[in-house]
Amino acid sequence: MGNAFEIRNLNVYYGQHQVLYDVNMNIRERAVTAIIGPSGCGKSTLLRCLNRMHDLQPGVRVTGEVRFKGRNIYDDDVDPMEIRYRIGMVFQKPNPFPKSIFENVAFGPRINGYRGNLNELVERCLRQAALWDEVKDRLHASALSLSGGQQQRLCLARALAVEPEVILMDEPASALDPISTAKLEDLILELKSRYTIVLVTHNMQQAGRVADETAFFLNGRLIEMGPTREMFANPREKKTEEYLTGRFG
Amino acid sequence: MANAVAEGRDLRVSPRWRDAQKRRERWIARLLLLAGLVSVLTTVGIVLTLTVDTVQFFQQVSLWEFLTDDKWTPLFTPKHFGILPLLNGTFLVAVGSALVAVPLGLGSAIYLSEYASDRVRRVVKPLLEILAGIPTVVYGYFALTYITPLLRRYIENLEVFNALSACIAVGVMIIPTVSSLSEDAMVAVPRSLREAAYALGATRLEVALKVVVPAAFSGIVAAIILAVSRAVGESMIVALAAGSTPKLTLNPLESIQTMTGFIVQVSQGDVGYGTVEYYSIYAVGMALFLVTLAMNLFARWVVRRYQEGVRA
Amino acid sequence: MTGEWQRRRRVRQRLDRIFAAVFLLAIALSLLTLVVLLWDVVRDGARWLRWEFLTSYPSRIPERAGILVPLVGSLWVIGLTALIALPLGVAAAVYLEFYAGDSWLSRLIEANIANLAGVPSIVYGLLGLAIFVRGLHLGRSVLAAALTMTLLVLPVIIVATREALRSVPVSLIHGAYALGATRWQVIRTVVLPTAAGSIMTGVILAISRALGETAPMITIGAWAFITFLPRHPLDGFSVLPIQIFNWAARPQPAFQQLAAAGIVVLLAVLLSLNAVAIWLRNKYQKKAEW
Ligand SMILES: Nc1ncnc2c1ncn2[C@@H]1O[C@H](COP(=O)(O)OP(=O)(O)O)[C@@H](O)[C@H]1O
Ligand SMILES: [Mg+2]
């Protein structure tokens, strides 16, 4: 299998403050890649480089390359809307729009000029997100009436509705209870046959359960990356071992 | 599967559709900018109209007369165009209303910021704000039909139209400007300063007067300047209650006229376009605009200078 | 020594209590004025506050005079003002919040808005007279008045709208961008619907300010004695505050009482507008919490 992303010499600065240092890594297609590391090490920052969310924030500077399917998404002629449309994102805290469940899922297709059957699409995405059975009778109720776990799965369905190639998830389970978390992890495992998934988590067990590959970050640097099982059983770097054994973080 | 999905998408979002979308985005950005520029155009419009008609005015009246003549009688002969009496009236009302609003507004602000509980504050603040929301013509009516008769019971030589009633009504109107802006400044004083003083055994009064008010001083000054500039620009109270007799006097018991009062008086009648009377309201309007602009800029300068002082 | 200190402490505490009372008195006096003003107006106007007062045309005979024409005129003016000022103000606020960034242009616009908020309303009247009444030949019409009022309330609307826009959670905005939405799509589909409640509240409060404005209306030449209802934006008109001003300026007590009755009507309209604004705000807040 090929690479979805090839990250080369990536540096990110918030104003004067550098948060990512010379990151080089590949992210495999149709696999789950976990990004782990202690809080503040730059996981979210890295994730947001992958769909150019940093463009929305003044004062953020990105240097280096992020090649998506061989193409550097930071090239001048790349349209960030197009990138974000092809690369979906699920945020740390569920952020459904204050609209109906249906309208939340239909949002992406609508703004991207979808002409097919919206009802079918919405149903398919809600099923993929394992939410259909819970909401099929109240599609036009407010999305805010759902529980936190349901809201997060709705956000996943919303991201799926534009049929992205990649789904970026930033600690998607951090605001959820254990049962919702388990459901979400099952979903991730199901989705990886069709999507490239990049999962930021500070929960090593979670990474161990769902990730094919894991990248460990510390203080803005990529310390080690490899197949999850190998890395967990046999870390090459001392810092990785210390982190995995809970010595810090 | 992934390929099918990818193909499906490429069929859906055609490059042409994206191009159209981009064009639309650019047009919308331009339209929004245009709306933003309306405020700039308004300023330009104000300055231009005032300037053009003021220039017309000064073709017929010399600047020297305007600035030094001590009579303002554009509506009768012999015509005099000295703005000093109008400035005098405006000054009288500004000072008089400040004498009413500053003690009441500051007292209210100190009470709300240093003494009142949260609950009291939440009830009283909006009530005070009502004073600023009442249309000025209502204050004018109140000054003319209530304050003046009331005062005339105690002050024998008070004229029917007089500066005093207007000062009181304008003063009440600007209380919320003084109180709410000063209170904002006082609330912004760091808790640690207050606590340090309390820890030394200071009473609330001492904390308020020796710590909070000095620390919030520039904000309070700015609040007062802004309030007075509102008094200067106020029209209807002075038009109804203060009279229409421009004169050089500091006696608040007499009838006077302010710059705004004069503009209202002339606008009521049917002054022909192009006459010197018509242009005179623009000359007076220019003076009014410059005075209030200066006060507003000064208030902002005071605040900014203070903020820089804090950061340094 | 200790005795002296304790005595001074008692004096200081007494001073503290006295001044607490003095400060409270300042609030009490301010609010008392408000009460007296309202009471005075209602008492003076009570005699004329009948249904016919609302439905009658103006008259030189106090008994027959009514407030219908200026009431309808006021509604025309504020309605038209809202229609023009709402899109303009919201568009300007959206521009400043989402498009302008930190350019010299945005700073220029912001400085202008701040300054315009401090310009006396009568100066707007002079502007309206020169530009709309004469320059654009709109005459002393409802439209000229509404355009003048638009310029007057625009800074207030822009400031209120910007605050409403800023209160939209960033997470929603980013959520929409992450789906590939363009800037305008994010604004149209997420930002504006979410902020609509507080925007409307701000706009209504700004418009209610226009309702009470008298001086600029006099300057652009609204007529006090007008005997027909406007049917058209280019028709002549009168407004409540002008009618009140004219009645109040007459020496006869009967007319002054009419002015008071007019004030009651004006305050009632103002109060209703504010009630709507508060209702909207509460409704919006409840939804936001939910
Ligand atoms: N908007 C921002 N402005 C300035 N610094 C930021 C910003 N966001 C994050 N940072 C800093 O960048 C570093 C990395 O943050 P982040 O990527 O959010 O870490 P993580 O997701 O691993 O917890 C942290 O030190 C954080 O303080
Ligand atoms: Mg993070």
* CA pair distance B252, B89, nearest whole angstrom: 9
pLDDT for res A19: 96
What residues contact residue B26 under an 8 Å CB cut-off, 6+ apart? none
Q: In Å, how far is A68's CA from the nearest CA of chain B? A: 14
> Are the CB atoms for A159 and A125 separated by under 8 Å?
no
Query: Closest Cα of chain B to C72: distance in Å?
Result: 18
Which pLDDT band holds residue C278 (cuts at 50, 70, 90)? confident
The domain segmentation of chain C, as residue ranges, is 2-48, 52-289
Q: Across chain C, what does the average pLDDT equal?
A: 90
For A83, C60, C66, the CA distances from C63, given in Å and listed in that order, are 74, 9, 9
C179/A88 CB distance under 8 A: yes
CA angle A171, A176, A178 (to 5 degrees): 110
The closest residue, in CA terms, to atom 1 on ligand 1 is A14
- What pLDDT does C229 receive? 83
Contacts of B9 in chain A (CB under 8 A): 86, 163
Q: Band the pLDDT of A161: cuts 50, 70, 90.
A: very high
pLDDT of B4 strictly over 50: no
Answer yes or no: is pLDDT of A180 > 50.
Answer: yes
Centre of ligand 1 from the C-alpha of residue A11, in Å: 13
B20 at the A interface (CB within 8 A)?
no
Is A165 close to B13, i.e. CB distance below 8 A?
no
Nearest-CA distance B15 → chain A (Å): 10
With contact defined as beta carbons under 8 Å apart, do B296 and B229 qualify? Answer: yes
Which pLDDT belongs to residue A58? 84
- Alpha-carbon distance of B262 to B246, in angstroms, equals 8
What's the CA gap between B266 and A37, in Å, rounded? Answer: 76
Average predicted confidence (pLDDT) for chain B: 89
Q: How far is the CA of A220 from the centre of ligand 1 (A)?
A: 10
Least confident range from A10-24, A37-51, A69-83, B282-296: namely A69-83
Q: What is the ipTM of this complex?
A: 0.92
The answer to whether C103 contacts chain A (CB < 8 Å) is: no
- Among the listed ranges A3-12, A92-101, B235-244, C222-231, which one has the minimum average pLDDT value? C222-231
C189 touches chain A (CB under 8 A): yes
- Say if residues A35 and A200 touch (Cβ distance below 8 Å): yes
| B140/C29 Cβ within 8 A | no
Q: For residue B223, count other CB atoms closer than 10 A to its CB.
A: 29
Cβ contact B282–C23 (<8 Å): no
Q: Give the C-alpha distances (Å, rounded to integers) separating A239 from A200, A235, A242.
A: 19, 9, 5
Residues with CB under 5 A from ligand 2 (ion): A 44
CB atoms within 10 A of CB B155: 14
- Name the closest residue on chain B to residue A195, using Cα atoms: B2
Ligand 1 atom with the smallest distance to the CA of A57 is 1
Which atom of ligand 1 is the closest one to the Cα of A39?
23
Q: Which DSSP string do the residues of C174-185 spell out, in sequence order?
A: HHHHHTT--HHH
Question: Of ligand 1's atoms, which has the minimum distance to the CA of residue A200?
Answer: 21
pLDDT given for residue B1 in this prediction:
36
pLDDT for B216 beyond 60? yes
Q: Distance, in angstroms, between B34 CA and closest chain A CA? A: 23
Taking the C-alpha atoms of residue A178 and residue B7, their distance in angstroms, rounded to an integer, is 38
Residue B10: what pLDDT? 38
Range with lowest mean pLDDT among A55-59, B186-190, C212-216: A55-59
| Confidence at residue C224, expressed as pLDDT on a 0 to 100 scale | 67
Ligand 1 contact, A42 CB (< 6 A): yes
C152, B38 Cβ separation under 8 angstroms = no
pLDDT at B3 over 80: no
The burial class, CB within 10 Å (0-12 / 13-18 / 19+), for C145 is buried
Contact list in A for residue B2 (CB cut-off 8 A) is 30, 165, 194
Q: Is the pLDDT of residue C24 over 80?
A: yes
pLDDT in tens, A196-249: 999 999 888 999 999 999 999 999 999 999 999 999 999 999 999 999 888 765
Q: What digits encode the pLDDT tens for the residues B83-130?
A: 999 999 999 999 999 999 999 999 999 999 999 999 999 999 999 999
Chains that touch B (3 or more CB pairs under 8 A): A, C
CB contact under 8 A, A111 and C178: no
Residue B2: per-residue pLDDT: 40
Ligand 1 site, residue A40, Cβ cutoff 6 A: yes
Closest CA to B107 of B115, B95, B119, B96: B115
Reported as a single tens digit per residue, the pLDDT across A41-61 is: 999 999 999 999 998 888 899
For residues C182 and C194, give the distance between their C-alpha atoms in angstroms, rounded to a whole number.
17
d(C-alpha B170, C-alpha B162), whole Å: 13
Average pLDDT over chain A, rounded to an integer: 92
Listed in sequence order, the residues at least 6 apart from A107 whose beta carbon sits closer than 8 Å to its beta carbon are A97, A99, A158, A161, C176, C179, C189
What is the residue with the minimal CA distance to atom 25 of ligand 1? A40
Topology (CATH level 3) of domain C52-289:
MetI-like fold (1.10.3720)
- Per-residue pLDDT reduced to its tens digit, B153-167: 999 899 999 999 999
Answer yes or no: is the C-beta of A39 below 6 A from any ligand 1 atom.
yes
Residues in A touching C181 (Cβ below 8 Å) = 81, 84, 108, 111
**Position of tokens 């930190």?**
C102
- All partners of chain C with 3 or more CB pairs under 8 angstroms: A, B
Residue B311: pLDDT over 80: no
For domain A3-244, give the CATH superfamily: P-loop containing nucleotide triphosphate hydrolases (3.40.50.300)
Ordered by start, the domain boundaries in chain A are 3-244
Q: Does the beta-carbon distance from C270 to B267 stay under 8 Å?
A: no
The protein residue with its alpha carbon nearest to ligand 1, atom 10, reads A14
Give me the mean pLDDT over the C107-118 stretch.
Answer: 91
B18·A79 Cβ contact <8 A: yes
- Tell me which residue has its CA closest to atom 12 in ligand 1: A19
- Lowest mean pLDDT across A120-124, B75-79, C33-37, C263-267: B75-79
CA distance A206 to A203: 5
Task: Please give the residue that has the higher pLDDT: either C288 or B186.
Answer: B186
Q: What residues contact B234, with CB distance under 8 A and at least 6 apart?
A: B93, B136, B170, B173, B260, C120
Chains adjacent to A (≥3 CB pairs closer than 8 angstroms): B, C
How many Å lie between the alpha carbon of B135 and the closest alpha carbon of chain C? 5
CB-nearest partner of B264 from C88, C96, C215: C215
Q: If you average pLDDT over each of B192-201, C31-40, C58-67, which comes out highest?
A: C31-40
Secondary structure of residue A116 in the 3-state scheme: coil
d(CA C237, CA A13): 61
Res. B20: pLDDT tops 90: no
**pLDDT-wise least confident of A226-230, B233-237, C82-86, C226-230:** C226-230
How much is the pLDDT for A79? 86
Task: Count the neighbouring beta carbons within 10 Å of the beta carbon of residue C177.
Answer: 23
Picking from A65, A88, A86, A82, the residue whose alpha carbon sits closest to that of residue A169 is A88
Cβ(A61) – ligand 1 distance below 6 Å: no
Judge whether residue C159 has pLDDT over 70: yes
Q: What is the pLDDT of residue C171?
A: 94
At residue B312 the predicted structure's pLDDT band, cuts being 50, 70 and 90, is very low
| Cβ <8 Å between B138 and C123 | no
Q: Is omega for the bond preceding A164 within 30 degrees of 0, making it cis?
A: no
What's the confidence (pLDDT) of residue C59? 81
> How big is chain B by its Cα radius of gyration, in Å?
27
User: What is the pLDDT, as a whole number, of residue C79?
Assistant: 95
Query: Which of A81, A91, A110 is the closest to C171 by Cβ?
Result: A91
